[in-house]
Amino acid sequence: MNRNAATLDRISGRFFLAGFILYKLKNVPNLFIASLFNLVALSAYLIGYVAWFLATLYYPNHPRKADSWYGFAEFKDQYQLASVLGTVATVMCLAYPALVLPALWLFTVSNIIWCVAEYHKQHNPPAYDANYSSARQSIYIRYALLVTASSAITAIGISVSVSLPTLAYTALLVSSIVGGVLTIAAFYHFKQAVFDDFPQDNVSHSYQAMATDLSFDLNHAPRHESRPEVLAVRVRQEALELARRSTAVELPDLELGQAPCL
Protein backbone atom coordinates (compact mmCIF):
# COMPACT_ATOMS: atom_id res chain seq x y z
CA MET A 1 0.00 0.00 0.00
CA ASN A 2 1.08 3.60 -0.58
CA ARG A 3 3.27 4.83 2.29
CA ASN A 4 1.17 7.97 2.79
CA ALA A 5 -1.98 5.86 3.06
CA ALA A 6 -0.36 3.51 5.57
CA THR A 7 0.86 6.44 7.71
CA LEU A 8 -2.52 8.16 7.69
CA ASP A 9 -4.23 4.85 8.50
CA ARG A 10 -2.05 4.42 11.58
CA ILE A 11 -2.74 8.00 12.70
CA SER A 12 -6.48 7.66 12.26
CA GLY A 13 -6.57 4.28 13.99
CA ARG A 14 -4.77 5.60 17.07
CA PHE A 15 -6.94 8.69 17.33
CA PHE A 16 -10.10 6.65 16.87
CA LEU A 17 -9.09 4.29 19.65
CA ALA A 18 -8.22 7.19 21.94
CA GLY A 19 -11.54 8.86 21.20
CA PHE A 20 -13.43 5.62 21.70
CA ILE A 21 -11.94 5.10 25.18
CA LEU A 22 -12.19 8.74 26.26
CA TYR A 23 -15.81 8.95 25.21
CA LYS A 24 -16.62 6.10 27.56
CA LEU A 25 -14.72 7.83 30.38
CA LYS A 26 -16.93 10.90 30.06
CA ASN A 27 -19.51 9.09 32.20
CA VAL A 28 -17.58 9.97 35.36
CA PRO A 29 -19.74 11.81 37.94
CA ASN A 30 -17.65 15.01 37.89
CA LEU A 31 -19.28 17.40 35.37
CA PHE A 32 -16.10 19.33 34.53
CA ILE A 33 -14.01 16.19 33.97
CA ALA A 34 -16.83 14.60 31.97
CA SER A 35 -17.08 17.67 29.72
CA LEU A 36 -13.31 17.68 29.26
CA PHE A 37 -13.27 13.98 28.29
CA ASN A 38 -16.13 14.61 25.87
CA LEU A 39 -14.34 17.52 24.18
CA VAL A 40 -11.04 15.66 23.88
CA ALA A 41 -12.77 12.52 22.60
CA LEU A 42 -14.66 14.43 19.90
CA SER A 43 -11.48 16.24 18.88
CA ALA A 44 -9.69 12.90 18.58
CA TYR A 45 -12.56 11.58 16.46
CA LEU A 46 -12.40 14.60 14.17
CA ILE A 47 -8.66 14.13 13.58
CA GLY A 48 -9.22 10.42 13.06
CA TYR A 49 -11.98 10.88 10.49
CA VAL A 50 -10.09 13.53 8.53
CA ALA A 51 -6.92 11.40 8.50
CA TRP A 52 -8.99 8.39 7.42
CA PHE A 53 -10.56 10.29 4.52
CA LEU A 54 -7.15 11.56 3.39
CA ALA A 55 -5.79 8.00 3.56
CA THR A 56 -8.53 6.73 1.24
CA LEU A 57 -7.43 9.22 -1.41
CA TYR A 58 -4.17 7.27 -1.69
CA TYR A 59 -5.80 3.83 -1.85
CA PRO A 60 -5.40 2.19 -5.28
CA ASN A 61 -8.59 1.19 -7.05
CA HIS A 62 -9.62 -2.40 -6.47
CA PRO A 63 -12.58 -4.00 -8.29
CA ARG A 64 -15.63 -4.42 -6.11
CA LYS A 65 -17.28 -7.78 -5.64
CA ALA A 66 -20.32 -6.82 -7.65
CA ASP A 67 -22.12 -10.16 -7.29
CA SER A 68 -22.38 -9.80 -3.48
CA TRP A 69 -24.62 -7.56 -1.36
CA TYR A 70 -21.63 -5.89 0.29
CA GLY A 71 -20.04 -5.02 -3.07
CA PHE A 72 -22.29 -2.06 -3.84
CA ALA A 73 -19.08 0.01 -4.19
CA GLU A 74 -15.32 -0.46 -3.94
CA PHE A 75 -14.34 -0.71 -0.29
CA LYS A 76 -12.22 2.38 -0.93
CA ASP A 77 -15.44 4.30 -1.67
CA GLN A 78 -17.19 2.66 1.28
CA TYR A 79 -14.40 3.88 3.57
CA GLN A 80 -14.75 7.37 2.12
CA LEU A 81 -18.50 7.43 2.74
CA ALA A 82 -18.05 6.23 6.33
CA SER A 83 -15.35 8.83 7.01
CA VAL A 84 -17.44 11.69 5.58
CA LEU A 85 -20.50 10.71 7.65
CA GLY A 86 -18.33 10.43 10.77
CA THR A 87 -16.77 13.84 10.13
CA VAL A 88 -20.20 15.45 9.75
CA ALA A 89 -21.44 13.77 12.95
CA THR A 90 -18.38 14.94 14.91
CA VAL A 91 -18.76 18.53 13.71
CA MET A 92 -22.44 18.40 14.70
CA CYS A 93 -21.50 17.32 18.24
CA LEU A 94 -18.82 20.00 18.56
CA ALA A 95 -20.68 22.91 16.99
CA TYR A 96 -24.30 22.08 17.88
CA PRO A 97 -24.49 19.98 21.08
CA ALA A 98 -28.30 20.04 20.86
CA LEU A 99 -28.01 17.78 17.79
CA VAL A 100 -26.20 15.06 19.73
CA LEU A 101 -28.97 12.51 19.19
CA PRO A 102 -29.06 12.65 15.36
CA ALA A 103 -25.26 12.83 15.45
CA LEU A 104 -25.10 9.60 17.44
CA TRP A 105 -27.25 7.81 14.88
CA LEU A 106 -25.10 9.25 12.11
CA PHE A 107 -22.07 7.80 13.89
CA THR A 108 -23.84 4.45 14.00
CA VAL A 109 -24.61 4.54 10.27
CA SER A 110 -20.98 5.45 9.59
CA ASN A 111 -19.80 2.49 11.68
CA ILE A 112 -22.18 0.10 9.92
CA ILE A 113 -20.78 1.16 6.53
CA TRP A 114 -17.28 0.70 7.96
CA CYS A 115 -18.17 -2.85 9.03
CA VAL A 116 -19.55 -3.60 5.56
CA ALA A 117 -16.33 -2.29 4.02
CA GLU A 118 -14.20 -4.51 6.29
CA TYR A 119 -16.40 -7.50 5.47
CA HIS A 120 -16.06 -6.66 1.78
CA LYS A 121 -12.30 -6.48 2.18
CA GLN A 122 -12.26 -9.84 3.97
CA HIS A 123 -13.95 -11.53 1.02
CA ASN A 124 -12.23 -9.50 -1.69
CA PRO A 125 -8.60 -9.09 -0.53
CA PRO A 126 -6.69 -6.19 -2.12
CA ALA A 127 -4.13 -7.43 -4.61
CA TYR A 128 -1.95 -4.36 -4.01
CA ASP A 129 -1.36 -5.15 -0.31
CA ALA A 130 1.54 -7.59 -0.06
CA ASN A 131 1.16 -7.71 3.73
CA TYR A 132 -2.52 -8.65 3.73
CA SER A 133 -3.43 -11.35 6.24
CA SER A 134 -6.86 -12.94 6.35
CA ALA A 135 -6.18 -14.02 9.94
CA ARG A 136 -5.51 -10.41 10.99
CA GLN A 137 -8.55 -9.19 9.06
CA SER A 138 -10.70 -11.74 10.87
CA ILE A 139 -9.65 -10.29 14.23
CA TYR A 140 -10.13 -6.75 13.00
CA ILE A 141 -13.66 -7.40 11.79
CA ARG A 142 -14.55 -8.50 15.32
CA TYR A 143 -13.17 -5.22 16.62
CA ALA A 144 -15.27 -3.33 14.05
CA LEU A 145 -18.41 -5.22 15.05
CA LEU A 146 -17.84 -4.56 18.77
CA VAL A 147 -17.31 -0.85 18.18
CA THR A 148 -20.40 -0.65 15.99
CA ALA A 149 -22.48 -2.50 18.59
CA SER A 150 -21.27 -0.12 21.29
CA SER A 151 -22.13 2.86 19.10
CA ALA A 152 -25.64 1.53 18.45
CA ILE A 153 -26.26 0.81 22.15
CA THR A 154 -25.18 4.35 23.06
CA ALA A 155 -27.55 5.83 20.48
CA ILE A 156 -30.40 3.59 21.65
CA GLY A 157 -29.81 4.43 25.32
CA ILE A 158 -29.86 8.18 24.74
CA SER A 159 -32.87 7.90 22.41
CA VAL A 160 -34.83 6.04 25.10
CA SER A 161 -33.81 8.53 27.78
CA VAL A 162 -35.01 11.45 25.63
CA SER A 163 -38.24 9.79 24.49
CA LEU A 164 -39.13 8.21 27.85
CA PRO A 165 -37.80 10.40 30.69
CA THR A 166 -39.06 7.97 33.33
CA LEU A 167 -36.69 5.33 31.95
CA ALA A 168 -33.81 7.75 31.42
CA TYR A 169 -31.73 6.61 34.40
CA THR A 170 -32.16 2.91 33.65
CA ALA A 171 -31.49 3.34 29.93
CA LEU A 172 -28.33 5.37 30.50
CA LEU A 173 -27.08 3.03 33.21
CA VAL A 174 -27.60 -0.11 31.11
CA SER A 175 -26.10 1.45 27.98
CA SER A 176 -23.08 2.65 29.98
CA ILE A 177 -22.44 -0.79 31.51
CA VAL A 178 -22.90 -2.71 28.26
CA GLY A 179 -20.92 -0.10 26.36
CA GLY A 180 -18.08 -0.40 28.86
CA VAL A 181 -17.92 -4.17 28.48
CA LEU A 182 -17.92 -3.87 24.69
CA THR A 183 -15.19 -1.22 24.91
CA ILE A 184 -12.92 -3.58 26.85
CA ALA A 185 -13.56 -6.40 24.37
CA ALA A 186 -12.99 -4.06 21.43
CA PHE A 187 -9.70 -2.83 22.87
CA TYR A 188 -8.54 -6.43 23.31
CA HIS A 189 -9.23 -7.27 19.66
CA PHE A 190 -7.67 -4.02 18.48
CA LYS A 191 -4.50 -4.85 20.40
CA GLN A 192 -4.42 -8.29 18.79
CA ALA A 193 -4.99 -6.99 15.27
CA VAL A 194 -2.42 -4.21 15.51
CA PHE A 195 0.37 -5.64 17.65
CA ASP A 196 0.25 -9.43 17.18
CA ASP A 197 2.01 -11.22 14.33
CA PHE A 198 -0.07 -12.95 11.66
CA PRO A 199 0.95 -14.97 8.59
CA GLN A 200 0.66 -13.18 5.27
CA ASP A 201 -1.52 -14.82 2.66
CA ASN A 202 0.85 -14.23 -0.28
CA VAL A 203 -1.43 -16.13 -2.64
CA SER A 204 0.01 -14.53 -5.78
CA HIS A 205 3.53 -15.38 -4.64
CA SER A 206 2.50 -19.00 -4.11
CA TYR A 207 1.20 -19.28 -7.64
CA GLN A 208 4.36 -17.78 -9.02
CA ALA A 209 6.55 -20.10 -6.96
CA MET A 210 4.56 -23.13 -8.07
CA ALA A 211 4.88 -22.14 -11.70
CA THR A 212 8.63 -21.69 -11.35
CA ASP A 213 9.13 -24.98 -9.49
CA LEU A 214 6.92 -26.90 -11.86
CA SER A 215 8.72 -25.50 -14.88
CA PHE A 216 12.07 -26.50 -13.40
CA ASP A 217 10.86 -30.01 -12.56
CA LEU A 218 9.42 -30.62 -16.00
CA ASN A 219 12.54 -29.41 -17.79
CA HIS A 220 14.70 -31.79 -15.75
CA ALA A 221 12.34 -34.74 -15.59
CA PRO A 222 13.44 -38.09 -16.99
CA ARG A 223 12.13 -38.93 -20.43
CA HIS A 224 9.53 -41.42 -19.18
CA GLU A 225 8.11 -38.71 -16.85
CA SER A 226 7.63 -36.27 -19.73
CA ARG A 227 4.78 -38.18 -21.27
CA PRO A 228 1.47 -36.20 -21.36
CA GLU A 229 -0.40 -38.48 -18.93
CA VAL A 230 2.46 -38.32 -16.39
CA LEU A 231 2.72 -34.56 -16.70
CA ALA A 232 -1.04 -34.21 -16.21
CA VAL A 233 -0.85 -36.16 -12.95
CA ARG A 234 2.06 -34.05 -11.70
CA VAL A 235 0.33 -30.78 -12.57
CA ARG A 236 -2.78 -31.94 -10.71
CA GLN A 237 -0.70 -32.90 -7.66
CA GLU A 238 1.05 -29.52 -7.66
CA ALA A 239 -2.30 -27.72 -7.94
CA LEU A 240 -3.74 -29.67 -5.02
CA GLU A 241 -0.70 -28.92 -2.90
CA LEU A 242 -0.98 -25.20 -3.72
CA ALA A 243 -4.65 -25.20 -2.77
CA ARG A 244 -3.81 -26.88 0.54
CA ARG A 245 -1.11 -24.34 1.37
CA SER A 246 -3.09 -21.30 0.32
CA THR A 247 -6.00 -22.30 2.54
CA ALA A 248 -3.90 -23.14 5.56
CA VAL A 249 -5.35 -20.01 7.19
CA GLU A 250 -9.10 -20.54 7.37
CA LEU A 251 -11.19 -17.66 6.03
CA PRO A 252 -14.05 -16.98 8.44
CA ASP A 253 -17.45 -15.76 7.30
CA LEU A 254 -16.89 -12.40 8.57
CA GLU A 255 -4.82 -4.20 6.45
CA LEU A 256 -6.48 -2.62 8.87
CA GLY A 257 -9.05 -0.09 8.15
CA GLN A 258 -10.06 2.27 10.87
CA ALA A 259 -11.48 2.41 14.34
CA PRO A 260 -14.62 4.51 14.68
CA CYS A 261 -16.55 5.35 17.08
CA LEU A 262 -18.68 6.13 20.12
Sketch the domain layout of the chain as residue ranges.
Answer: 3-195, 203-246
Rounded to whole angstroms, how far apart are CA atoms 213 and 215?
5
Rounded to whole angstroms, how far apart are CA atoms 149 and 164?
22
* Amino acid letter for position 215: S
Cα 154–75–53 angle (5° rounding)? 65
Rounded to whole angstroms, how far apart are CA atoms 183 and 63?
33
User: Does the predicted TM-score (pTM) go above 0.85?
Assistant: no
pLDDT (0 to 100) of residue 236: 53
Rounded to whole angstroms, how far apart are CA atoms 23 and 128?
35
Contact (CB, 8 A) for 26 and 38: yes
Rounded to whole angstroms, how far apart are CA atoms 46 and 65?
30
pLDDT (0 to 100) of residue 187: 86
Per-residue model confidence as pLDDT tens for the chain (262 residues): 678 888 999 899 889 878 877 877 776 777 788 888 889 999 999 999 999 999 999 998 999 999 999 999 998 999 999 999 999 999 999 999 889 999 999 999 999 999 999 999 999 998 888 889 999 999 999 999 999 999 999 999 999 999 999 999 999 999 989 988 998 898 899 889 888 888 888 654 444 444 444 444 444 444 444 455 544 545 455 554 554 544 443 333 334 445 565 6
